Structure 1
Amino acid sequence: MAPTGLSRATATDLARVTESLDMIAPRWSVWVLMTLHEQPLRYHEIKPKLAWLADGQLNPRLHKLTDAGLVERGQLSQRHVTYGLTNRGAALMPVLDTLATWAGTHLEKELVLNPQTGQREPERIPKAQDIEDALGLITPRHATPILWTLRERGPVSARDLAAAVLPGSGPTTVYQPLRQLTDDGLVERTAGQSTYQLTAAGRSLNPVHAAFADWAAGRTPARAASGQAPSARKRHGQWATHTARPAMPARPAAASAPATWKNSDLFSHGGPVRPMPTAAGGRRR
């Protein structure tokens, strides 16, 4: 249910972003997408790259991403089946890069010893893990509508926020997701403690929301880096999340992913980095 009091265009963008985030939110989905970003692979080629995933975890992710139109299963022969990104999946890669940039800037990193310099330095986190850690903060139920409403309205009381985000529900229902967003460092109480507002990290999610809104509407997310609010742009065309899946094309490697992505972005560790517990109020992994 979209928050009340938002313009129709803004509510449409919010619905698109929420749906898009739900498509990639299940754990390991981003790792699968990034594994396929260069070229289609057979199952036995994917498996060693994501060796920590059992068949019972990898198969459902491939099927879900295929159903979502981000991955396509190509069968060249009875015994030669490949999985690769669709055009739509390839177009999502720059959007994920925007989310990775936000995560790399705003998520805390543990200090680890560099054996070469003898100095303690921030741990290097694989880009895929940065993205999944960020998704863990913004995809829980009601999180994105709360963040969106606070960005549109500025400081709002919990009661008014509940009325906007959860109309028809009791005012206390907003406290749990609001408390979590506060613990994660995306929302804070104002000086008078009577209203809530976005932190600097919460406000800086705007390019991420803009990129997802553009992608879901079938637009090139060219304006994401400017931080322009999604609601300020013209809207046209059918939702990309509702369009039919195209046939898997033969894409040149240069167009399959942002130039800034390297294999080390995905596999700089033997496995995914686990979330690091932090004190309440910090942005947690």
Structure 2
Amino acid sequence: MEVGAQDKQAETGRRYEVFHTDCPARDMVDHVTSRWGIWVLISLRANDLRFYELRESIQGISEKMLAQTLRALVQDGLVWRKVEPTTPPQVTYGLTEFGRDLGEPLEDLFGRITRRLPPRG
């Protein structure tokens, strides 16, 4: 009998049961697949960006939502944050190795979608 993804062993030997509401992996999936999480991960795939550059690259996102999304992705270990001690502080964001790993299939997904859409007229 094949074991489903929800029963795979984590590196630490702990089992993650992703269909249970108290599974920590479930929170991370919620952050990545949130309305803005996907766009942040894709935007950071090409370059590290400062906060305002990231906001400009994702049309329609408010500063508040960008800050909340970044906070969650930093806490999950998908995005790193570097603060330069200037006035005002310059804050730069980039993807961790884990974030790059998760961003790759998202970028592939969007590539597949856009290749299948009819040409814009």
* TM, length-normalised to structure 1: 0.31
User: Does 2:58 match 1:63?
Assistant: no
Structure 1's 73 and 12: CA in aligned 2 closer, same or farther, altered over 3 A?
A: same
Which residue of the partner structure matches residue 104 of structure 2? 94
Report the secondary structure of 1:94's partner residue: helix
Q: 2: distance between equivalents of 1:46 and 1:61? A: 12
Runs of 4+ in 1 over 6 A off after TM superposition: none
> Which residue number in structure 2 is paired with residue 81 of structure 1?
91
Looking at structure 1, the residues matched to 75 and 61 of structure 2 have their Cα atoms a distance apart, in angstroms, of 20
CA deviation string 1:170-225 (max 9, x = no partner): xxxxxxxxxxxxxxxxxxxxxxxxxxxxxxxxxxxxxxxxxxxxxxxxxxxxxxxx
- Name 1:163's counterpart in structure 2: none
Aligned CA distance change for structure 1 residues 101 and 36 (closer, same or farther; 3 Å) = closer
Cα distance in structure 2, aligned partners of 1:49 and 1:66? 19
RMSD of aligned residue pairs (Cα, Å): 3.1
2:31/2:69 contact within 8 Å kept: no
Listed one character per residue, the Cα deviations across residues 94-129 of structure 1 (whole Å, up to 9, x for unaligned) are 221343355457x7x4xxxxxxxxxxxx145xxxxx
> Alpha-carbon deviation of 1:12?
2.1
Q: Which has the greater radius of gyration?
A: 1
Tell me the matched-pair count: 105
1:48/1:101 Cα in 2 relative to 1: closer, same or farther (>3 Å)? closer
Larger RCO (CA within 8 A; separation ≥ 6): 1
The CA distance in 1 between the partners of 2:108 and 2:32, in whole Å, is: 15
Residues 98 and 15 of structure 1: CA distance in aligned 2, closer, same or farther (over 3 Å): farther
- Closer/same/farther in 2, CA of residues 23 and 54 from structure 1, 3 Å limit: closer
> Structure 2 matches for 1:39-58, cutoff 5 A?
39-58=47-66
Per-residue deviation at 1:92? 1.9
Identity %: 28
